[in-house]
Amino acid sequence: MDEKLSKVDPRLLELLVCPLTKGRLSFDRDTNELVSERARLAYPIRDGIPIMLVSEARRLED
Protein backbone atom coordinates (compact mmCIF):
# COMPACT_ATOMS: atom_id res chain seq x y z
CA MET A 1 0.00 0.00 0.00
CA ASP A 2 1.18 3.49 -0.85
CA GLU A 3 2.60 5.22 2.23
CA LYS A 4 0.77 8.50 1.53
CA LEU A 5 -2.63 6.83 1.68
CA SER A 6 -4.35 6.84 5.03
CA LYS A 7 -6.12 3.75 6.23
CA VAL A 8 -9.79 4.31 6.96
CA ASP A 9 -12.03 1.61 8.36
CA PRO A 10 -14.33 0.46 5.49
CA ARG A 11 -17.22 0.15 7.98
CA LEU A 12 -16.83 3.84 8.83
CA LEU A 13 -16.95 4.76 5.15
CA GLU A 14 -20.27 2.95 4.81
CA LEU A 15 -21.76 5.10 7.57
CA LEU A 16 -20.53 8.50 6.42
CA VAL A 17 -22.68 10.72 4.20
CA CYS A 18 -22.08 14.11 2.61
CA PRO A 19 -22.84 16.78 5.24
CA LEU A 20 -24.33 19.02 2.54
CA THR A 21 -26.59 16.60 0.65
CA LYS A 22 -26.79 13.65 3.09
CA GLY A 23 -25.98 11.52 0.03
CA ARG A 24 -23.57 8.64 -0.46
CA LEU A 25 -19.83 9.12 -0.71
CA SER A 26 -17.35 7.17 -2.77
CA PHE A 27 -13.69 6.69 -1.88
CA ASP A 28 -11.15 7.94 -4.42
CA ARG A 29 -7.98 5.98 -3.72
CA ASP A 30 -5.87 8.14 -6.07
CA THR A 31 -6.59 11.40 -4.24
CA ASN A 32 -7.36 9.86 -0.81
CA GLU A 33 -10.68 11.69 -0.63
CA LEU A 34 -14.35 10.93 -0.08
CA VAL A 35 -16.30 12.19 -3.07
CA SER A 36 -19.87 13.46 -3.18
CA GLU A 37 -20.90 13.48 -6.83
CA ARG A 38 -24.18 15.18 -5.97
CA ALA A 39 -22.51 18.10 -4.16
CA ARG A 40 -19.49 18.04 -6.52
CA LEU A 41 -17.19 18.08 -3.47
CA ALA A 42 -14.25 15.94 -2.34
CA TYR A 43 -13.59 15.65 1.39
CA PRO A 44 -9.96 15.01 2.39
CA ILE A 45 -8.77 12.17 4.60
CA ARG A 46 -5.91 13.20 6.88
CA ASP A 47 -4.07 10.71 9.07
CA GLY A 48 -6.90 8.23 8.55
CA ILE A 49 -9.58 10.71 9.62
CA PRO A 50 -12.18 11.95 7.11
CA ILE A 51 -12.54 15.73 7.36
CA MET A 52 -16.27 16.14 6.81
CA LEU A 53 -16.42 19.94 6.69
CA VAL A 54 -17.75 21.69 3.60
CA SER A 55 -15.20 24.47 4.23
CA GLU A 56 -12.36 21.90 3.93
CA ALA A 57 -13.75 20.17 0.84
CA ARG A 58 -12.33 20.60 -2.65
CA ARG A 59 -14.70 21.53 -5.48
CA LEU A 60 -14.76 18.97 -8.27
CA GLU A 61 -14.12 20.25 -11.77
CA ASP A 62 -16.54 19.37 -14.57
The pLDDT tens digits of the residues spanning 41-60 come to 999 999 889 999 999 999 99
Q: What is the CATH number of the domain that holds 18?
A: 2.20.25.10
How far is the C-alpha of 56 from the C-alpha of 51, rounded, in Å? Answer: 7
In a domain, 26, yes or no: yes
In a domain, 1, yes or no: no
In a domain, 15, yes or no: yes
pLDDT in tens, 5-45: 557 777 888 899 999 999 999 999 999 999 999 999 999 99
**DSSP result, 12-24:** HHHH---TTT---
In a domain, 44, yes or no: yes
**Model-level pTM?**
0.83
C-alpha dihedral (47, 20, 10, 3), degrees to nearest 10: -30
Range of the domain at 43: 10-59
| Residue 4 CB neighbour total at 10 angstroms | 6
In a domain, 2, yes or no: no
Total structural domains within the chain? 1
